[in-house]
Structure 1
Amino acid sequence: MQKTFAAGDVTIRDVPPTPVAILEHRGDPATLGATIQRFIAWRKAAGLHPSTSPTFTVWRSERRPASPADYSVDLCAGTDRPVEAKDEPMKAGEIPGGRCAVLRVVGHTDNLEPAALFLYRDWLPASGEDARDVPLYCQRLSFFPEVPEHEAVAELFLPLK
């Protein structure tokens, strides 16, 4: 069942910048599962458990671009430690800080497109705010299989000027 969102579901927060290790996925979304498995394996090897290292997804393309080859998403783990050559294909990066519109989604967070569309198409035009030139991202606060799927929680962040 698709959740209906309302303007009151959105909060505006000032968020600090967060250093992260990034695993880029570029290309056909059908192969994203393999990228996620590589990300999980690296995280385990690095000792960065989701309970102590925040998990982010940064969308750099539409969910269904005209060409699957143009699909682009970053999987990120928060870490203060350096990302070294031995960590390849991970690379160092940062989730930018600043003002963000935040929408919390509870349950079945495998498809966040309806929430993202709500933020861009409904909330943003009515809010009087302007989006920054920074991609939409989410922080996964709890996720399946760590919790039952209906208890998974993600927050979408729409960076604002």
Structure 2
Amino acid sequence: MHIRIVDFSETRVAALEHRGPPSQLGESVARFRQWRMDSGQSPVASSRTFGIPFGNPDTTPAHAFRFAVCGEIDEPVRENAAGVHERVIPAGRCAVIRHSGSTDHIGQSLYPLLHDWLPASGETLGDHPVFFHYLSVYPQTPLDQWQTDIYVPLK
């Protein structure tokens, strides 16, 4: 497990919040992707893409699961019918680990970091949820070849 400690810079993002079963997250991702194309405010080619889970999909009841699909922006989000709004991923120290492969199996990278590395490191979880920085773009990159950096905010 290769973990880096980094100083993450505050990042403004456009966000679409998914609420409901994790199995339906793909529908929210598609809606967000369409907003990106239609608005031009967060172009995939030049803007980072993030995801913010507000709970563990393995333990959160499906009806209560929340996940923000996000794209970096440099201007305020214009009013839109898609439900996309602006939010900020705050600056701070983070532990980062790279996950390779489908995000369906991201827990295989995240859980050892949280359950093994974190207690042994002497570090403490920060106040912001864990977040993902997607380094690959679908469908250009097959899901089994995806690269995702997992950020765990620290105090």
Number of the residue aligned with 1:18: 11
Look up the match of 1:29: 22
CA distance in 2, matches of 1:68, 1:86: 27
Write out aligned runs for 1:79-158 (5 A): 79-86=73-80, 88-158=82-152
**What do you get for the CA RMSD once the two structures are aligned?**
1.5
**Deviation (angstroms), 1:107:** 2.6
Aligned pair 1:77/2:71, yes or no?
A: yes
**Counterpart contact for 1:63–1:113, Cα < 8 Å:** no
Q: 1:108 to 1:27 in 2, by over 3 A?
A: closer
Residues 118-151 of structure 1, C-alpha deviations (whole Å, 9 max, x = no match):
1110110111111112100010011332223343
Equivalent residue letter for 2:11: T
Alignment partners' CA distance in 2, 1:133 and 1:125? 16
In 2, distance between residues paired with 1:103 and 1:74? 20
Distance 1:121 1:145 in 2: 32
Q: Which is further off, 62-71 or 114-123?
A: 62-71
Q: What residue in structure 2 maps to residue 160 of structure 1?
A: 154
After TM superposition, the score normalised by the length of structure 1 is: 0.89
1:90-124 deviations in Å (ceiling 9; x for gaps): 01101111100000112333321111111110110
* Structure 2: segments with no counterpart, 5+ residues: none
Unpaired runs of 5+ residues, structure 1, are: 1-5
- Deviations along 1:20-44, one digit per CA (max 9) or x if unpaired, are 0010011122221211110111111
TM superposition shift of 1:86 = 2.5
Matched residue type, 1:12:
I
Following the alignment from structure 1 to structure 2, what is the Cα–Cα distance between the partners of residues 154 and 84? 28
Normalising by structure 2, what TM-score? Answer: 0.92
SS of aligned partner of 2:125: coil
Aligned with 1:85: secondary structure? coil
1:40 to 20, 24, 33: 33
Residue identity (%): 35
